[in-house]
Structures are given as structure tokens and as C-alpha cells.
Amino acid sequence: MTLYANNDALMCKIFAMTLQGEVQDWFHTLSPYLIQNFDELSLVFSKEYSSYRSIKNRSDQLFSMKKDLNESLRTYVKRFKAEKAKIVGCDDSIACSASKKDSQQITNYVEN
């Protein structure tokens, strides 16, 4: 990456391509146009992962998430993924069960 140090856009794209798993999920929850250059990306990433979650979140916290009445499904899914990304080693089956639980509550609300 040293070869491209003067090209912020390319540095950001190359950095994003190196991410995997939960970190990649976190990256995709960032708001569009939030990051203006690679220095800002470095700062946001460092703030998020410098301590690598000294406060451990547990996967059962996903079950307490609820979609707000005025919240779009897209926004809710983005928020859900952001919370999942905060849980180190979150099992996908638990996250899937938690999201199904809330989708069932949404369906019941719409039907009534």
C-alpha cells in the first residue's frame, strides 16, 4: 500500500478489500460519505478496533433488539448487522434466530 500512499480513494478501496467477517460487516454499516480520505478511515477503524472490544457484548443481546415503528426495514437490518459486528465470535445461527424472532413480531404487528 506504500506505493499508493498519495491516492486516498485507492487506499480506501484496497483497505476495504482486505476486510473479512465481522470487520467487513462493520465496514458496510458505515454511512455513505462519512469517510472523506484514508486518514479518516484509519481513525474510525482505530477507534472501533484499537481495544478490540474490551467490553464484551454477548450474542443474546441480539434477541432484545426491536424494529422501531417508524424505522425502515433497511435501517433496522443495518442496525442489526452493526450490533452483530460488535459481538466477537457471534454464531450465525444465533444471529439468524434473533432476526427471525423480531421478524415474527413485525409480522404479528402488521396482521393485527
Q: Which long-range contacts (CB under 8 A, 24 or more apart) does 94-99 make?
A: 94/59, 94/60, 94/62, 95/59, 95/62, 97/63, 98/59, 98/62, 98/63, 98/65, 99/62
| Residue in 83, 60, 79, 82 with CA at minimum distance from that of residue 68 | 79
Whether residue 88 has pLDDT greater than 50: yes
Query: Residues 82-110, buried b or exposed e (16+ Cβ, 10 A)?
Result: ebbbbbeebeeebbeebbeebeeeeeeee
Query: In sequence order, what are the residues at sequence separation of 6 or more whose Cβ sits closer than 8 angstroms to the Cβ of residue 80?
Result: 62, 65, 95, 98, 99, 102
Say yes or no to pLDDT of 34 above 80: yes
* Residue 54's pLDDT band (cuts 50, 70, 90): very low
Dist CA 35 CA 8 (whole Å): 10
Question: What pLDDT score does 51 carry?
Answer: 58
Average pLDDT over residues 86-111: 67
Is residue 10 predicted with pLDDT exceeding 80? yes
Does residue 109 or residue 35 have the better pLDDT?
35
Residue-level pLDDT at 3: 57
Nearest CA to 66 out of 18, 99, 107 is that of 99
| The pLDDT value given to residue 109 | 47
Residue 39 has a pLDDT of: 87
Provide the whole-model pTM: 0.45
* Nearest partner of 72 among 36, 22, 106, judged by Cα: 106
Residue bearing the bigger pLDDT, 27 or 112: 27
